[in-house]
Amino acid sequence: MENQTVVDKVGEPKVGMIFESYEQLLCYYESYAKQEGFAVFQRTSTKGEGDKIYKTLSCCREGQRASKLKNEFRLKPSTGINCKARINIIIGADGSCIINSLELSHNHTLSPEKSRFYRCNRALNPYINKKLELNDIAGIRPNKSYRSIIVEAGGPENVPFMEKDCRNFLDKVRRLRLGEGDANAINEYFLRMQADNSNFFYTMDLDETGQLKNVFWADARIRASYEEFGDVITFDTTYLTNKYDMPFAPFIGVNHHGQSILLGCGLISKEDINNFIWLFKSWLAYKAMKNAIQEVFPEARHRWCLWHIMKKLPEKLKGFDEYDSIKVVLKNAVYNSLSRDEFEESWNKMIENFQLQSNEWLNGLYDERSRWVPIYVKDVFWAGMSTTQRSESMNSFFDGYVNSKTTLKQFVEQYDNALANKVAKENQEDFNSYNSTYPCITDYEMEKQVQSIYTNVKFKEFQQELKGKLYCEVSAIQSEESKYKVVEDCMFGESRRHLSFKVALNENDQEVMCNCKLFEFKGILCRHAISVLIHRRIYTIPSKYILRRWRKDIKKCHTRVKINYNAMAVKIETQRFEKMCNAFYEVADLAMDDDSKSLKVMEWIDSLKNTLQGDTSVNVIDSSQDNQMKNVSGAVNTEQVKITDPVVVRGKGRPPSKRKMSAVEKVVVKKKGSRRKTENKIIQVCDFNIIILCLFVILICVHGTYINC
C-alpha cells in the first residue's frame, strides 16, 4: 500500500465562531491564510464598553503605503494595494474571542504555493533552532546548515522559513552570547574560564580611554605543553581573523608526533614595536619585530622566512632576459650549498655571470644572508620548522572556525572548539603510536631501538635516513684521525649528483657529527652519521642522540591536564534535548511505514504537548549564556572594569583574505631621490627585513628557546 500524507484542510472563517483565546484564533487564521495564499497583518486594538477589546486581523496587502524616500530613483517596492479582506473580532473579559464580522474576498491573486515566503508565515521550530545554534558553535556556516535542513526536509518547499531567517536567528543568539559588548564579554569569559581552572592565564591591554588594544591567553594544557615542547616556537601575525582587524598571533610549537600545538594565543591591535613588546612580555609572564625582540629577548637570534624570500623571485628578477637561468643558479646556491664558503662562491659567480651587481634586492639579501640562507642557520635546532609551513598549517586549521567577520567573543569560543579538535587529533596519534608499530626494514639494532621508543611519525623519519644509507659510501680521511668522508649518490630531478660530507666520530665519548647538520636542526640522526656508526660496528644509537621530545614511552605532562573547553561544554538542557530527540527518532522510524501507527504517535504527541503546556509548575530556565556568565564571574570578580570595544574596521571593496602578506613579501623599496631619503624610507618600511614587521624569524634565547616568527 502506498503511503499518503493527509493534511487537514482549515475551514473557512464564519461570523460567530468562538475561540478560547486570542492566541488560538490567531493560530487558526494564520493557518487558513497560509493555506489560501496570503498573510495576516495584526492591526492595533481598540478598547470598547466594559472589558471588551475590538481587534482586526487583515490581509498583509491592505492599505497603500507611501514611500518616505524623497529620491524618486531609489523608491522601494510597496506591498499595499488596498485589499479589504479581514476579520473583526471581539475579545471578552475572560479572554475568549468571537468573530464579529469578516470580508473574505481579495483584490489580488492568491498563491498557496508561495504563501510560505510571507514573513508571518515563516517560523523556526525548536528543533531547527537547536540545530542552527549547535552548528554555529561548531563553526558550520549558516548557508551550509540551511542546505542540510533542506535536504532533510526533501526540498525548500517543505521548509517554512528562508535562509535569511536562519541568519537572523543566529544574529540574535550571538547577541545574547556577546551580551554588553565584545570587549566586556571576552573579559567575563576569561574570568569564568579562570574560575573553572586556576591555571588559566590571560591579560588584556587597554589604552587610556579603556579601549581594548591587545589580549593574550593560555590555558592549563598550553602551559604544560610549553614545559615539554617550548624549545622551538613559531610566532606568526599574518592571519587576519576578526572584524576589528586585530591579527591573530599564535605561539606555535611541535609535539612528539610532529604536529603543530598552541603554546599561547594573542590578538593585537596593530603590528608595531610596543604591541610586540607587550605580547612577548605577556607570553613570558606565563611561563616591528627586531626592535621588540631585542628588548624582550636581548640575546635572541633573528631568522627570516626562506619561503617568502624565494616567493619574491618572479617579482624582483622577472625583468631580466636570463631570469630562468638566474633562478636555477640562485636556488642551487641557496639549497645545495654544503658550506658557507661554497654558498658565497656560488653567489658571487651568479652575480658576476649575470651582471647583477647593481640589484639592490639581491645585495640586501646577501648582506643579511646569516638570517635566511639554510647553511647559516643549520646549527640551530628548530624541530623541522624551516619555513612558515608550521604557522600556515595552524592557520589552515583555524579556517572554517573563524573568518574576517568573527567577533572577539566568537573568536575565543571558536578557538576553544579548534583547540579541542587539535587535542583529539593528538590523542589519536598517541593511540596509534601505542597500538600499532611500523615494521623494521633492516636487522640493525638501532632501528629496533628507535622503533620501540619513538612515535610512529618520528620513527618513519628515522627509517627514511636508514634507507638513505644505501646510497652512501664511507671512506676514512687518512690525514685526519676519526674523520670520515661520506659520498652520497643523490638524484636532482633527472640528473645524478655525488655529494661529499664530512663526519667526525669520537668513539670514547660516543659523539658523532656531520656537516649536513640534520640532527642539529631536526633532531633526527642523518644517513651519513648512521653510515659511519655502522661502518665502525656501532649498532645502537648513543643516548645523547635520542631526544625526549620524540619519545612515546614517556608520559607527557600536558596530556594529564584536564581542560574544560567552555564552548564545547554540554549543558543539562542540551543533554535532555538530545536524549528526547533520539528517542523520538526511534519511535518515528518504527511508525513511519504504517498510517495507523503514525496516527497513534501523533495523537500521543498532541496529548502530551497539551499536558506539558498546561503544566505551570515546570521551571523556566534562562539559557542565556550572558546571564550565566554574569552569575559565575560575579563570584570571582571583585571590581567590574568597563572595557570598550576596539574600533571596527570597515574596508573598501573586497573583504580581506584570511592571510596578509608578511613584511618580507612587501620588503625592498626601490631607490628614489637622494640616498638619505632612500635610507629613511627603508628604515620606516622595515629596515630591510630586519625589523619590526619581519614576522617569521628564529629567536635563540639565553634559556635555550628558539622562536620562528
What are the tens digits of pLDDT across the range 435-454? Answer: 888 899 999 999 999 999 99
User: Rounded to an integer, what distance in angstroms lies between the CA atom of residue 138 and that of residue 127?
Assistant: 17
Task: Yes or no: say if 102 and 139 are a contact pair by the CB < 8 Å rule.
Answer: no
Indicate if the pLDDT at residue 531 is higher than 90: yes
Q: Please report the pLDDT score of residue 236 as a whole number.
A: 67
CA angle 20, 25, 28 (to 5 degrees): 125
Q: Which helix (H) or strand (E) holds 506?
A: strand 495-506
Residue 626, classed as helix, strand or coil, is helix
The more confident residue out of 674 and 603 is 603
**Shortest CA distance to 29 belongs to which of 44, 16, 11?**
11
The residue-averaged pLDDT of 300-317 equals 77
The more confident residue out of 635 and 589 is 589
Task: Yes or no: say if 687 and 283 are a contact pair by the CB < 8 Å rule.
Answer: no
Q: Please report the pLDDT score of residue 644 as a whole number.
A: 66
User: Rounded to an integer, what distance in angstroms lies between the CA atom of residue 491 and that of residue 135?
Assistant: 49
Task: Yes or no: say if 167 and 157 are a contact pair by the CB < 8 Å rule.
Answer: no
CA angle 504, 509, 514 (to 5 degrees): 20
pTM: 0.53
Q: Where are the alpha helices (DSSP H) in 47-181?
A: 126-137, 142-153, 163-178
Site of grid cell 618513519: 460
The residue-averaged pLDDT of 555-560 equals 64
Indicate if the pLDDT at residue 411 is higher than 70: yes
Domain boundaries, the chain: 18-68+77-121, 126-178, 328-377, 437-560
Instruction: Read off the pLDDT band of 699 (50, 70, 90).
Output: very low
Instruction: Read off the pLDDT band of 560 (50, 70, 90).
Output: low
At 418, which amino acid appears?
Answer: A
Residue 378, classed as helix, strand or coil, is coil
159-163, 269-273, 345-349, 468-472: least confidently modelled range: 269-273
The radius of gyration of the chain's CA atoms, rounded to the nearest angstrom, is 35
Q: Please report the pLDDT score of residue 553 as a whole number.
A: 77
Collect all residues with Cβ–Cβ distance below 8 Å to 423 and sequence separation of at least 6.
221, 563
Q: Largest alpha-carbon pair distance within the chain?
A: 120
The more confident residue out of 60 and 447 is 447
The residue-averaged pLDDT of 372-384 equals 73
Q: Please report the pLDDT score of residue 109 as a whole number.
A: 86
At 597, which amino acid appears?
Answer: K
The residue-averaged pLDDT of 584-592 equals 84
Whether the CA torsion 242, 243, 247, 249 is positive or negative: it is negative
3-state helix, strand, coil in the chain (%, to 5): 45, 15, 40
Q: Please report the pLDDT score of residue 257 as a whole number.
A: 81
Indicate if the pLDDT at residue 8 is higher than 60: yes
End-to-end CA distance of the chain: 69
Site of grid cell 615542547: 229
**113-150: pLDDT as tens digits:** 888 788 888 888 888 888 888 888 777 888 888 888 88
Which grid cell is 698?
628564529
Strands 232-235 and 706-708, by their bridges, are: parallel
Task: Yes or no: say if 260 and 254 are a contact pair by the CB < 8 Å rule.
Answer: yes
Task: Kindly give the interhelix angle for 456-468 and 445-453, rounded to the nearest 10 degrees.
Answer: 160
